């Protein structure tokens, strides 16, 4: 846990979110600035800054994030596939330094169906 990390604060319930799913290891919630009709984030509850900082110690929770993505996407009405993105570090244009996976989907007429946050 990091005191100042915004996603840790969401995990602790100090900042509200529009929750999609929660269990003891992961949390999923809608992105505050959606880049697609459906855009939510899946995060580990444990504070891991980036994919760089991750290692096999986090194998289980990272697997859980991937393993739940399809079910959560279906529950959010994504019937035609979706896009997942994990931005990493400065080059990856990561803004929030608590590892998270974007799940984006739904029709996007502006980009001809291609979605990028």
- Residues found near Zn ion in the complex (CB under 5 A): 2, 5, 7-8, 47, 98
100 is catalytic: yes
Q: How far is the CB of 40 from ligand AMP (least distance, A)?
A: 9
From the list Zn ion, ligand AMP, none, which binds 2 (C-beta under 5 to 8 Å, kind-based)?
Zn ion
The span from the CA of 53 to the CA of 38, in Å, is: 28
DSSP character at residue 57 = G
**Using rule CB under 6 A, residue 87 touches ligand AMP:** yes
Q: Own/partner pairs for 104-111, CB < 8 Å, 24+ apart?
A: 104/35, 104/36, 104/38, 104/39, 105/36, 105/37, 105/38, 105/73, 105/76, 105/78, 105/80, 105/81, 106/36, 106/37, 106/38, 106/77, 106/78, 107/37, 108/36, 108/37
Look at residue 76 and give the partner it binds from Zn ion, ligand AMP, none, a contact being a CB closer than 5 to 8 Å depending on partner kind. Answer: none
32 interacts with, out of ligand AMP, Zn ion, none, CB within 5 to 8 A per kind: ligand AMP
Of positions 56, 81, 95, 110, contacts ligand AMP by CB under 6 A:
95
Active site residues: 100
Can you give the binding site for ligand AMP, defined by CB under 6 A?
6, 15, 17, 29, 31-33, 87, 93-96, 117
């Amino acid at each position: 846990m990091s005191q100042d990390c915004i996603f840790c604060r969401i995990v602790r319930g100090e900042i509200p979110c529009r929750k999609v799913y929660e269990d003891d290891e992961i949390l999923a919630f809608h992105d505050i600035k959606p880049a697609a009709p459906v855009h939510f984030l899946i995060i580990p509850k444990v504070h891991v800054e980036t994919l760089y900082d991750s290692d096999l110690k986090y194998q289980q929770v990272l697997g859980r994030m991937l393993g739940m993505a399809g079910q959560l996407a279906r529950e959010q009405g994504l019937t035609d596939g979706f896009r997942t993105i994990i931005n990493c570090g400065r080059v990856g244009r990561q803004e929030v330094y608590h590892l998270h996976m974007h799940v984006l989907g739904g029709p996007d007429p502006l980009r001809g169906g291609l979605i990028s946050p």
